[in-house]
A and B are shown apart, each in its own frame.
Chain A
Amino acid sequence: MLDKVIFYVFGGIAVVSAALVVTRRNAVHSAVFLITALLATAGIFLQLRAEFLFVVQIILYVGGIMVLFVFVIMLVNLDVALQQIQFSRQKWVALLVTLALAGQVGAMLWWAGQPGKKTLPLPVSVAAPAEKLPANAEAVAHSLFGPYLLPFEIASLLLLVAMIGAVVMAKKKV
């Protein structure tokens, strides 16, 4: 019961603020609502007992990436952009196509979730009792530095390349 309440509260906050992100005129407002959406998603992670990812989400997303976004919004002069039309010409076609896509995926999930089909309707909450789970950060570390060591190193290389790329892009003279 409590699980359900937490899920609907955080999920509702996430969906509403995501909708506000794409509809607000001012990019700063969008950024603030994106922070709310990301924090609500962090709450969902915590409810799924992914404590390490919960902390990563808050520190890296909300603390790092969003600061970058707000910083760039401040650098780029948006006073002119505020007066202009915010949605592009193909908006109705895009909306139609996206809703068709969402309808298809939603129908697929709905059919798969019907009782009688043994594909999806396994309840998450009783998958493994929360008390029986190993310590989350420990389990993630064992997996990250065990079977996934090579992808981990490649990710660090990716970050290095991205860092150099960002510095070169933002430099005044190339």
Chain B
Amino acid sequence: MLSVNHYLFLSLALFTIGVIGVLTRRNVIVILMSIELILNAVNINLVAFSRLFGDVAGQVFAIFIVTDAAAEAAVGLGIIIAFFRNRETVLADEMDLLKW
């Protein structure tokens, strides 16, 4: 029988892969995609617990997270376009204007 632990482990796997993507990739677009993976992993947790407790509030919060993900993607990609126009790069370690 499937327990809530199965979903937690699936969520943990997706979260870990997302964090690895954020920390190791140089391409900012792939980093943003990894953030989407992380948010998705959180959603699986919320929906699994919503099913476990028979309370629909978890799904409502998952909808809020999807909204946040949309806002974050829109603003983040806008920043990437603006930055690419100025510096001609999408690599995270070349974005060092504030570093000295």
Whether A122 contacts B3 in the complex (CB less than 8 A), given A52-B59, A53-B62, A98-B20, comes out as yes
A94 near B20 with CB under 8 A, answer yes
A residues near B77, Cβ cutoff 8 Å: 68-69, 72, 166
- CA of A98 to CA of B17 in the docked complex: distance in angstroms? 9
Contacts of A95 in B (CB 8 A): 20, 23-24
Asked if B12 contacts A109 (CB within 8 A), the reply is yes
Residues of A within 8 A of B79 (CB): 169
* Inter-subunit contact B2/A4 (CB<8 Å): yes
How many A-B contacts if CB must be within 8 Å? 252
Query: In the docked arrangement, what's the CA distance between A37 and B40, Å?
Result: 9
Chain B interface residues toward A at CB < 8 A:
1-10, 12-21, 23-27, 29-30, 32-34, 36-37, 40, 43-44, 47-48, 50-54, 56-57, 59-60, 62-64, 66-75, 77-82, 84-85, 89-93
Number of A residues near B (Cβ < 8 Å) is 91
Q: Are B78 and A166 in contact (CB under 8 A)?
A: yes
* Structural contact, B10 and A148, CB atoms closer than 8 A: no
Contact A31 B2 (CB under 8 A): no
Q: Would you call A44 and B7 a contact (CB within 8 A)?
A: yes
Tell me the complex Cα distance, A120–B48, Å. Answer: 12
